[in-house]
Amino acid sequence: MAQLSLRGIKKRFRETEVLHGIDLEIGDREFVVFVGPSGCGKSTLLRLIAGLDPITDGEFVLNGSRMNDVAPSRRGIAMVFQSYALYPHMDVYENMAFGARLMGLDKAEVEQRIADAARMLRLGELLKRRPRELSGGQRQRVAIGRALVRKPDVFLLDEPLSNLDAALRSEVRLEIARLHREIGGTMIYVTHDQVEAMTLADKIVVMNNGRIEQVGSPRELYETPANTFVASFIGSPRMTLVDVTRDGDRLGVANGGAVAVGAVPDAKALKLGLRPDAVHLTRGAAEGFAAQVVYTEYLGDNAYVYARLADGTLLSARTTPNDLFAPDETVTVTVAPGAAHFFSAEDGRRLSP
Amino acid sequence: MSTATTTAMAYQDRRGILGTLGRDGLLQIILIANTIIMLAPIVIMVFSAFKTTPQIFASPFGIPDFTQVGNFVKIWTQTNFLRYLLNSFVVTGASMVLILTLGTMAAYAIGRYAFTGSNFILMFFLAGLTLPLKLAIIPLFMLMRDLSILNNQLSLIFVYTAMGLPTTVFIMTGFIRTLPNELEDAARMDGASEARIMWSIMLPLVRPAMVIAGIQNVVPIWNDFFFPLVFIQNDDLKTLPQGLTTFMGEYTTDWGVLFSGLTLSAAPIILIYIVLSRQFIAGMTSGAVK
C-alpha cells in the first residue's frame, strides 16, 4: 500500500524559490511520470520525496503519516539515480546487499531477496562483476535491482534512461513497464522526454517553472491540454500555436487568410492550437491559411511538412508519403472540424467552444 | 573544410617521423640522464655498505664483494641501530595514522558539507603550507617544555602531524570534491549513517588520494633530522637519521658501518614507495557513474 499526498510543497535554496507550492495526490500502484523541461523542478521534487533534501514548506504525507522529518531510509522509498550511482568498489551482489543488510535483515533473507531480484532482472551471471565491467544497460538493471531488494512501497526513478543509447532505451522502457506490472509498487518517474511519459504513465504530471501545469492521463493531456505550455510540450511534432482573430465563425491569421474550424469560443482574439493531424494541406484551395513549405520530413509510413504561415508561425502537418510537398511551394491550410484547440490569448488557458 | 583537414594531416605525417623521433629521443636522453643522476648516490651508498673504510677510499666507485656483510653484522649487534629503527617506526607510524585520519575527516567535511566558513577553514589549512615550521623552533621548544613532552616522542608526533595536515587536507579535499554526490545519496537512501557512508563508501574511493598524501608525508617525516635533534636527547628515543650521526666520530668515522646503516634506514621507505605506487590505480571511480 502506498498513498502519497503532497500538500503545498515549497522548496527554497537560499533566496531562490524553485518549487512554488505543489499539491498532488498519488495513489497505490500508480505509475506517475513527472515531465517538464530542464530546470522545472521535477528532480528537486523527487529529491524532496526521497528525503535527500529538506522540504522548506508544506507537507508530505505517505500512508497517513507525515514524512517531512523522517530519514530517507525509513520512508519505505527506494530510488534509482540518473547516473545509477553504483558503489564502484563493490561487486553487483554487494551493491544490492549493502542496503538490505543495513535494514537489519538476516543473511538468508538478504540472499533470497537478491536471488529474486537477479532472476527478475536477469542479473544471474553478473553477480560477481564490478560495475565498471558492466555495460550501460546492465548497470541500469543493477541500479533497479538495488532498489528492488529493499522491497519499498514507492520507487523513485530519476531520468533512468537518459544515459542509454536510443536502441537500448525503448528496450529498458518496456522492461520498466513489465517490472511495474510484476511488483506492483507505486512508481514515480522523472523524465524530460514526453515519449517516455506518454508510453509509461498512468498519470502524467507536467511541470514548468516550479509549478504543476496539469495532471492527467496521457490521453487527457493529449486531447485536452489545460494550457499552451502543456499543449506544446505533449505530442510530437509539437502542436502549432497561432494567434488568430475571430470574424463570425471564421478565424483569420494576420494578413494570411481565414478558415472555418467548427464551433469557436466567444472571444475576439485567441490562440489556435493545431496538432499535425488536425490540418490538411492542399494546393490552390479557395479558402484557408496561406503558407509556404519550409521542409518535408519523410518517415516511411507518413511524412511531416513544416510550413510558414503569413505571420511567421511554423506549422507542422502530417501528410501521406504519396503526397510530398517541395520546399518553397505555396500551400493552403484547412482545419478538420472539431480538431482544433483554443487557448486564451492573454494567459494561454484552454477555452472551450 | 575536409580538404583542409586532409592537407593538415598530410603535413603532420611528413613532419611526424623525424619530428617525433627527435623529440622523443631527446626526452629519452634527458630521462635516462636524470635517472642516472638520481640513482648514482643510492648505488654508491649501497656499494659502500659492503666495503671497509680503506676500500671505500681506495676505490669509491668499485663494485664490492656482496658476500662481505661485516658492516651489517656490526651495526646489528654492536650499535643501537635496532632501537633507532623501532623509534623511527613508532614516530612515523603514529604521525601517519594521525595525519591520514584527521586529514581525511577534515577534508571530507570541507569537501562534502556546505556550511558557512568551510572555505575559511580550507584556507586556514592551506596557510599552513606557507609556514616555515623550522623558524618557529624556539616557541615550539618552549611549548614542548611547558607541555613537559620534551625528550618524548609525542613532541615529534605532534609537530609532524601539524606539518602533514595542510598537504593532506589540500589533496584530499580536491579529490573528495570530484567524487559523485549521487553515491552518497544512494548510500543515504540505503540507510547508511554519515560515519558509515564515509567508512564504507567514500574511504575505499579516496584510497588513491590517501596513498599520494601518504607518500608525500612519509618520506620527509622518516628522513627528518632537525626536530629530533632539538627535541630528543635521550639516546633510547632517537630516530634513525639522528641516531646514525652518532657513528660519525669527531676524529674517525667508520664509513662502511655508516653506509650500511643508511642503506638499512632507506630500505623500508623505498619498499613502502614501491608497494604503494601499485596503488595509484587510475579510474577507481570509473563505473560508478557514467
Q: List strand residue ranges (DSSP E) for A248-299, in order.
A: 250-252, 258-260, 269-274, 279-282, 289-298
Q: Is A340 exposed, middle or buried (0-12, 13-18, 19+ CB in 10 A)?
A: buried
Residue in A77, A85, A146 nearest the CB of B288? A85
pLDDT of amino acid A276: 93
Which CATH number among 3.20.20.150, 3.40.50.1980, 1.10.10.10, 2.40.50.140 corresponds to the domain A237-351? 2.40.50.140
The Cα–Cα gap between A198 and A189 comes to 12
Q: What is the mean pLDDT of residues A144-153?
A: 92
**pLDDT tens column, A218-241:** 999 999 999 999 999 998 889 999
Q: pLDDT category, A191, cuts 50, 70, 90?
A: very high
Q: Longest Cα pair distance anywhere in chain A, in angstroms?
A: 79
Which residues does chain A have within 8 Å of residue B290's beta carbon, measured at their own beta carbons? 83-84, 136, 139, 163
Residue B34 has pLDDT above 90, yes or no: yes
Residue B288 has pLDDT above 50, yes or no: no
Please indicate if any CB of chain A lies within 8 Å of the CB of B116: no
High-pLDDT (> 70) share of chain A, %: 100
| Averaged pLDDT score across all residues of chain B | 84
Q: What is the mean pLDDT of residues A247-252?
A: 83
Cβ <8 Å between B287 and A133? yes
Residue B286 has pLDDT above 60, yes or no: no
Q: What is the mean pLDDT of residues B193-218?
A: 87
| Choice between B132 and A146, residue whose per-residue pLDDT is larger | A146
Residue A316 has pLDDT above 90, yes or no: yes
Q: Is A328 exposed, middle or buried (0-12, 13-18, 19+ CB in 10 A)?
A: exposed
**B window 257-286, beta carbon within 8 A of A:** 283-286
Residue A294 has pLDDT above 90, yes or no: yes
Instruction: Please provide residue A244's backbone torsions phi and psi, each rounded to the nearest 5 degrees.
Output: -130, 160
Judge whether B193 and B234 are in contact, CB under 8 Å. Answer: no
Closest CA relative to residue A240, chosen from A353, A344, A332, A340 = A340
Cβ <8 Å between B287 and A86? yes
Q: What is the mean pLDDT of residues A269-283?
A: 90
pLDDT of amino acid A118: 92
Q: Which residues of A touch B (CB under 8 A)?
A: 47, 50, 52, 71-74, 77-79, 81-89, 98-99, 102-103, 130-134, 136, 139, 146, 150, 163
- What superfamily in CATH does domain A4-231 come from? P-loop containing nucleotide triphosphate hydrolases (3.40.50.300)
**pLDDT tens column, A31-62:** 999 999 998 999 999 999 999 999 999 999 99
**pLDDT tens column, B61-109:** 888 888 888 888 888 888 888 899 999 999 999 999 999 999 999 999 9
Cβ <8 Å between B205 and A88? yes
Q: pLDDT category, A209, cuts 50, 70, 90?
A: very high
The set of cell numbers assigned to A28 is 497505490
Q: What is the mean pLDDT of residues B212-228?
A: 89
Q: What is the mean pLDDT of residues B176-190?
A: 90
pLDDT of amino acid B15: 59
The Cα–Cα gap between B76 and B231 comes to 26
Which residues does chain A have within 8 Å of residue B287's beta carbon, measured at their own beta carbons? 86, 88, 130-134, 139
Q: pLDDT category, B284, cuts 50, 70, 90?
A: very low
Q: Classify the C-alpha dihedral A112-A116-A119-A121 as positive or negative.
A: negative
Q: pLDDT category, A27, cuts 50, 70, 90?
A: very high
Instruction: Give SS3 for A342.
Output: strand
- SS3 of chain B: helix, strand, coil, percent, to 5: 80, 0, 20
Bridge partners (DSSP) of residue A65 are A62
The Cα–Cα gap between A186 and A5 comes to 13
Judge whether A143 and A152 are in contact, CB under 8 Å. Answer: no
Cβ <8 Å between B288 and A72? no
Q: What is the mean pLDDT of residues A9-15?
A: 91
pLDDT of amino acid B90: 95
Cα of B205 to nearest chain A Cα, Å:
7
Instruction: Calculate the CA A235 to chain-centre distance.
Output: 10
pLDDT of amino acid A198: 92
**pLDDT tens column, B137-182:** 999 999 999 999 888 899 999 999 999 999 999 989 988 888 888 8
Residue A265 has pLDDT above 90, yes or no: no
The Cα–Cα gap between A333 and A338 comes to 15
Q: pLDDT category, B120, cuts 50, 70, 90?
A: very high
pTM equals 0.77
The CATH code belonging to domain B70-277 is 1.10.3720.10
Q: pLDDT category, B280, cuts 50, 70, 90?
A: low
Please indicate if any CB of chain A lies within 8 Å of the CB of B196: yes
Instruction: Please provide residue A22's backbone torsions phi and psi, each rounded to the nearest 5 degrees.
Output: -105, 125
**pLDDT tens column, A88-117:** 989 999 999 999 999 989 999 999 999 999
What order do you get walking across the sheet with A330-335 strand by strand? A279-282, A330-335, A289-298, A303-309, A314-319
Please indicate if any CB of chain A lies within 8 Å of the CB of B201: yes
Q: What is the ipTM of this complex?
A: 0.83
The Cα–Cα gap between B50 and B31 comes to 29
pLDDT of amino acid B278: 66
**pLDDT tens column, A158-188:** 998 888 888 888 888 888 999 899 888 899 9
Which residues does chain B have within 8 Å of residue A134's beta carbon, measured at their own beta carbons? 287
